[in-house]
Amino acid sequence: MDILEWGKENIKFVGNSKTNKSDRRRRIPEMIVNHISEGSIFSMISWFTSPNNTGSSAHFGVSKKGEIYQFVAIEDCAWANGLTSGIENATAELVLKRGKDTSPNWYSVSIEHEGVWTETKGALTPAQLEATKMLHKYIIAYVKEKYGHEIVPSRKTIIGHYEIDKKERPNCPGQLFPFKEIIDFLTEPYQDIKGHWAESLIRQAIAEGWVKGYPDGTFQPDKPITRAEAVALITAALKKAPG
């Protein structure tokens, strides 16, 4: 299963006609902005689908249990990162490059994470971290498929709301938000083979196209092989065999 198929199975669209959004007008998303919700996943869903909310939204929300909800299509802008107010407080390179009069909503995809800053300082639960890793991977693949643009994972393209407005949002998503873990997952897959006795052999086999890992970015080197995996491996070997 590739990451786009994974998204179809694991992301639940819950946005409605009341959810705030704007047509992106074919502007290309260039960065992913992470937030903390300052409330529960239930309050997030309620607020982003409420007719009483006329000023905010996000593309996605990730619960502490690792559930992923979508409120706004990536083709549209969510109202998550301010319009033009507060942009003079930005530190993010892409925002500074675009200038204070261009809303970051035009060129970003936003993710809210269930949590309260005073309780977590932005740290995620294990399930939440795994879900947001996969969600970042999905967004990058979706943007490449839809727009032909690759969001190259780095701290320039995967940022926090505080990097857009350090004055009004200094704790969004929080000091303990795992940017490094997310970017490491996206840039160096198969972290679970580090230090394994067969690491060098596995990496060689991956590089030569003999094997590949799982869609969640793991290789699971000590997991028993299934019949399907054995067939896939034999088939790959036969295709590479001379003649």
pLDDT at res. 213: 81
On average, the pLDDT of the chain sits at: 91
Range of the domain at 231: 191-240
- Mapped onto helix, strand or coil, the DSSP state of residue 208 is coil
Same domain, 71 and 121: yes
Q: How far is residue 60's CA from residue 230's CA, in Å, rounded to a whole number?
A: 37
Structure tokens belonging to residue 172: 């969004």
Q: How far is residue 238's CA from residue 178's CA, in Å, rounded to a whole number?
A: 42
Cβ partners under 8 Å of residue 36, min gap 6: 112, 113, 115, 116, 117, 120, 122, 171, 172, 173, 174, 177
pTM score, whole prediction: 0.83
Same domain, 58 and 138: yes
The total of structural domains in the chain comes to 2
Q: Give φ, ψ of 22 to 5 degrees.
A: -135, 145
Over residues 79-135, the pLDDT tens digits come to 999 765 557 789 999 999 998 888 999 999 999 999 999 999 999 999 999 999 999
CATH classification at residue 141: 3.40.80.10
Same domain, 116 and 200: no
DSSP secondary structure letter of residue 85: T
Same domain, 176 and 210: no
Same domain, 57 and 173: yes
pLDDT at res. 110: 98
pLDDT at 154 over 80: yes
Q: How far is residue 217's CA from residue 136's CA, in Å, rounded to a whole number?
A: 12
* pLDDT band at residue 243 using 50, 70 and 90 as cut-offs: low
- Around 93, how many Cα atoms within 13 Å sit in the side-chain half-sphere? 7
Same domain, 127 and 84: yes
pLDDT at res. 171: 96
Same domain, 93 and 107: yes
Report which residue type is found at 216: D
Mean pLDDT value of segment 6-19:
97
pLDDT at res. 200: 82
pLDDT at res. 85: 52
Cβ partners under 8 Å of residue 33, min gap 6: 80, 81, 104, 108, 109, 110, 111, 159, 160, 161, 164
* pLDDT band at residue 190 using 50, 70 and 90 as cut-offs: confident
Q: Is 170 exposed, middle or buried (0-12, 13-18, 19+ CB in 10 A)?
A: middle
pLDDT at res. 1: 64
pLDDT at res. 218: 81
Judged by phi (left if over 0) then psi (alpha if -120 to 50, else beta), residue 121 lies in left
Query: Higher-confidence residue: 176 or 197?
Result: 176
* pLDDT band at residue 74 using 50, 70 and 90 as cut-offs: very high
Same domain, 163 and 231: no
pLDDT at res. 160: 98
Bridge partners of residue 60, in order along the sequence: 70, 111
